[in-house]
Structure 1
Amino acid sequence: MSDAIQPGLRGEIGLVVAEEHTAQHLGSGAVRVLATPQMVLLMEQASVAAVDHLLPDGYCTVGAHLDVRHLAPTPEGFEVRAIAELSEIDGRRLTFRVQVFEAPFGEDQLVGEGIHRRAIVSLQRFGDSVAQKAAEAL
Structure 2
Amino acid sequence: MLEIGMTQEVKATVNDTNTAIAYGSGGVRVFATPAMIGLMEKAALELADKVLPEGQTTVGTLVNVKHTAATPVGMAVSAKAELVEIDGKRLVFKVDAMDEAGSIGSGIHERFIIVLEKFLKRAEGKLTGK
Dislocated runs of 4+, deviation >3 Å: none
One-letter code aligned to 1:123 = L
TM-score normalized by structure 2?
0.96
SS at match of 1:130: helix
- Corresponding residue of 1:124: 117
- Corresponding residue of 1:25: 22
SS at match of 1:54: coil
Structure 1: stretches of 5+ with no match in the other structure: none
Bigger helix fraction: 1
Q: How does 1:33-52 map to 2 (within 5 A)?
A: 33-52=30-49
For the pair 1:78 / 2:75, whether they are aligned, the reply is yes
TM-score normalized by structure 1?
0.91
- Count how many residue pairs are aligned between Structure 1 and Structure 2: 130
User: Identity across aligned pairs (percent)?
Assistant: 42
Q: Give the CA deviation at 1:50.
A: 1.1
Of 127-136 and 14-23, the range deviating more from structure 2: 127-136
